[in-house]
Amino acid sequence: MKSIWQNEVTFPEFPKLQENIRTEVLIIGGGITGILTAYFLQQNKIPYVLVEKDRICSKTTGHTTAKITLQHGLIYSQLLNTFGKEKAQKYLQANQWALEQYEKLCKDIDCNFEKKDNYVYSVNNRKKLEQEMNALRELGYSAKLYDEISLPIDTAGAVCCPNQAQFHPLKFLADISRNLNIYERTFVQEMVGNTAITERGEIIAEQVIVTTHFPFINKHGSYFLKLYQHRSYVLALKSVENREKLQVNGMYVGAEQEGLSFRNYKEVLLLGGGAHRTGKHGGNWEVLRQFAKEHYANAIELCAWAAQDCMSLDKVPYIGEYSKRTQKLYTATGFNKWGMTGSMVAAQLLCGYVTGSVQDFADVFLPSRSILRGQLFVNAATATVNLLTPAKKRCPHLGCALKWNKAEHTWDCSCHGSRFSDTGKVLDNPANGNLKI
């Protein structure tokens, strides 16, 4: 299931580690967060090495819808209630900075960067939209509330943040990764202090940054409690007759769980939705295909793919020290489906931790903040039920029962989101090994 991005880009190839090496900073994980962090470290002349167990950008990064926006659903009313005005404002400012940084970097890169208005719509809850408008107004941001939007569905309106952006993520990353210090097909089997053990060599580092989507070191940080994973689905549609009908003139996402996502890439409409917790039942591609059949009858399906996202307890990513007990070990995770701006914020913060010049918005994203949120108890209950469920196939991560995903022909874990092919090959972490079939 290659995405439209993966079908259009060939990445430079990097060698496999074959010897013991030393470095000031080791980055584990070659998705967008790891690559941006490496890029900023190189700009700051900090010696580093990035290792990826497969090819860079071959997992979550390659399956994004690539919207660059500070508008992450109807989040700001929630942030005001949870964290207060100061931290909500810092979250907004951090993501605004990320948007501006992409615009600067993309000026000299052919990656289809375009400014677009972003809309969060609700099907039936006007009050939630008005609350979000009030929150943005309190934070000093000028948004707009629309009664109608240019989608083929009935809505209660939408909150619009103007001048956001979209781009081709893999064209961008293929360009900036070209001269970075990367080892591919280099799997970190174990961490012993700040030494990474791989198949062909050890990497001794003064500081370590883990950007493996879901942090793989279980004994620190309690990420198995603080994170769960969500799957969502995308169709790339192209019209065989009326091309204008597929043009949505902006980026859109529904505020509700069953809401759909819309954006264009050239003549193509990217239609997203069908989301569910990994290991649970969801709408998958069928919801999208039914919607396309009803509203875009003359469109053909170019490709279809799925994305997997780490979700935090309070809608805010975890970026910073891996835990209070670990020194010079950092991570970034839990982007809650908004990994484009989240990864840019993370790269800036992680580079700041290494150099000792941390941004003033760092405290919003601290992984060691309170975990006493409602979602914690949902995660704990889900794990307990699955640990007690009789099953022949159990996840090698922490032993939860696996569920067969008939839409994707995979074995999925609803506790922490690990996924395995029908032959047992690990597809998504935190499991670090294959399933025995």
Q: What is the CATH number of the domain that holds 264?
A: 3.30.70
Domain annotation covers residue 293: yes
Q: Is residue 211, in this structure, part of any structural domain at all?
A: yes
Whether 251 and 182 share a structural domain: no
Q: Distance (Å, rounded) from C-alpha 396 to C-alpha 375?
A: 24
Q: Same domain, yes or no, for 201 and 332?
A: yes
Own/partner contacts of 281-287, CB < 8 Å, gap of 24 or more, are: 282/231, 283/233, 283/258, 284/233, 284/407, 284/408, 285/233, 285/235, 285/407, 286/407, 287/233, 287/258
Do both 247 and 298 map to the same domain? yes
Q: What is the CATH number of the domain that holds 422?
A: 2.102.10.10
Report yes or no on 238 lying in a domain: yes
> pLDDT digits over 334-390, tens only?
999 999 999 999 999 999 999 999 889 999 999 999 999 999 999 999 989 888 888
| Residues 281, 247 share a domain | yes
Measure the CA–CA gap between 432 and 437, rounded to whole angstroms. 16
Position 222 in a domain: yes
Give pLDDT, residue 243: 66
Domains of the chain: total: 3
What pLDDT does residue 321 have? 96
Question: According to the model, what pLDDT value does residue 145 have?
Answer: 98
pLDDT (0 to 100) of residue 242: 67
Are residue 290 and residue 419 in the same domain, yes or no?
no
In which domain, by residue range, is 273 found? 228-311
CA neighbor of 94 nearest in space, from 109, 79, 110: 79
User: pLDDT tens digits, the chain, 437 residues: what are they?
Assistant: 799 999 999 899 999 999 999 999 999 999 999 999 999 999 999 999 999 999 999 989 999 999 999 999 999 999 999 999 999 999 999 999 999 999 999 999 999 999 999 999 999 999 999 999 999 999 999 999 999 999 999 999 999 999 999 999 999 999 999 999 999 999 999 999 999 999 999 999 999 999 999 999 888 999 999 999 999 999 999 998 766 789 999 999 999 989 999 999 999 999 999 999 999 988 899 999 999 999 999 899 999 999 999 999 999 999 999 999 898 999 999 999 999 999 999 999 999 999 999 889 999 999 999 999 999 999 999 989 888 888 889 999 989 999 999 889 999 999 999 999 999 999 999 998 898 87
- 175 and 212: one domain? yes
- Give domain status of residue 153, yes or no: no
Has residue 27 been placed in a domain?
yes
In a domain, 120, yes or no: no
Domain identity same for 221 and 318: yes
* 246 & 303 share domain: yes
pLDDT of 386: 86
**Do 352 and 385 reside in the same domain of the chain?**
no
Q: Would you give the distance in Å from CA 226 to the centre of its chain?
A: 16
**Residue at 264 is within a domain:** yes
